[in-house]
């Protein structure tokens, strides 16, 4: 998705986030367009994952407004919140799976909120999501402790897709993966986003991921979204952190790899 006139599905205005005396966000503004993959990057302590949690309603900011899919997240009624939850999926770092449940049972958890969905149908749908996430059928019967790190991430993605969301939030999806596994996960995200028409809000520090899948990048610095744009546009930003990040040795290696694909 590269259309600047596309519908805005997430709109953040004047966001302020505080932890005691520490101010993490101060007047942060951000727009996310329908159908795009937006990468969120920034230095340590800039509140990338915190921003994700505030948008999905797991944390409450000190001030500002967050609107998602036409609903004010902070002012939403219980019914509106339930509707929002049915239209989004979230994948936390390392999958954040329930250790006492099998992969299939983990994927079924969000579906339990769907009225009239019988256990057999729920299990069949879970198996479909497991397959979509690139896991073998037999993985559904395994517990998280029996999976590799990459498989746990895919299981977390399957759970995020459980209710056919419009927006998927991914928190450091390739962190801890080897280069081959990370590249495969990048391709999976890109393929699913295009095939399913997903909007993807992707927190990452992985330059390869930014090059491989993101339509735009939003840089968090100085307690706000400093700049948004394409990867190419990031190269022209005259700011010390942005320049070092997108022109450093790792950035040059990622750019070279992207050019070969």
> Phi and psi (nearest 5°) for 229?
165, -175
Report yes or no: 107 and 159 within 8 Å, Cβ to Cβ: yes
Q: What is the pLDDT of residue 200?
A: 98
Walk along the chain (261 residues) and give the pLDDT tens digit of each residue: 455 567 999 999 999 999 999 999 999 999 999 999 999 999 989 999 999 999 999 999 999 999 999 999 999 999 999 999 999 999 987 668 999 999 999 999 999 988 889 999 999 999 999 999 999 989 999 999 999 989 999 999 999 999 999 999 999 999 989 989 999 999 999 999 999 999 999 999 889 999 999 999 999 999 999 999 999 899 899 999 998 888 876 665 555 555 555
| pLDDT at residue 1, rounded to an integer | 46
Q: Residue 247: what pLDDT?
A: 83
In CATH, the architecture of 8-260 is 3-Layer(aba) Sandwich (3.40)
**Residue 261 pLDDT:** 54
Spatial CB neighbours of 252, under 8 Å, sequence gap ≥ 6: none
pLDDT tens per residue, range 215-224: 999 999 999 9
Name which of 130, 227, 122, 210 is nearest 170 in CA terms: 210
Q: Quick one: which of 56, 34, 45 has its CA closest to 205?
A: 45
Q: What is the number of other CB atoms lying within 10 angstroms of the CB of residue 4?
A: 7
Nearest of 170, 232, 240 to residue 206 by alpha carbon: 170
Q: Where are the domains of the chain?
A: 8-260
Q: Where are the beta strands (DSSP E) in 69-151?
A: 71-72, 88-91
Residues whose CB is less than 8 angstroms from the CB of residue 12 and which lie 6 or more positions away in sequence, other chains included: 28, 29, 30, 31, 51, 55, 64, 65, 66, 67
């Amino acid at each position: 998705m590269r259309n600047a006139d596309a519908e805005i599905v997430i709109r953040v205005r004047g966001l302020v986030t505080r932890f005691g005396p520490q101010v993490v966000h101060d007047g942060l503004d951000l727009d996310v367009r329908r159908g795009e993959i937006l990468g969120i990057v920034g230095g340590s302590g800039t509140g990338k994952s915190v921003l994700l949690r505030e948008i999905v309603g797991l944390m409450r900011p000190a001030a500002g407004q967050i609107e998602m899919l036409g609903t004010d997240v902070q002012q939403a009624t219980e019914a509106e919140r339930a509707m929002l939850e049915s239209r989004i999926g979230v994948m936390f770092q390392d999958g954040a799976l329930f250790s006492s449940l099998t992969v299939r049972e983990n994927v079924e958890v969000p579906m339990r909120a769907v009225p009239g969905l019988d256990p057999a149908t729920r299990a069949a749908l879970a198996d479909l999501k497991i397959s979509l996430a690139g896991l073998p059928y037999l993985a559904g019967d395994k517990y998280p402790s029996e999976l590799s790190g990459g498989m746990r991430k895919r299981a977390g993605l399957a759970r995020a897709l459980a209710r056919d969301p419009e927006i998927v939030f991914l928190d450091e999806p390739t962190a801890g993966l080897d280069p081959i596994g990370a590249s495969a996960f990048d391709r999976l995200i890109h393929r699913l986003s295009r095939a399913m028409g997903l909007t993807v809000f992707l927190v990452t520090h992985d330059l390869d991921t930014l090059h491989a899948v993101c339509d735009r990048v939003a840089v968090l610095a100085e307690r706000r979204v400093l700049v948004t744009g394409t990867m190419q546009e990031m190269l022209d930003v005259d700011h010390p952190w942005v320049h070092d990040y997108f022109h450093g040795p790792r950035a040059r290696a990622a750019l070279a790899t992207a050019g070969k694909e």
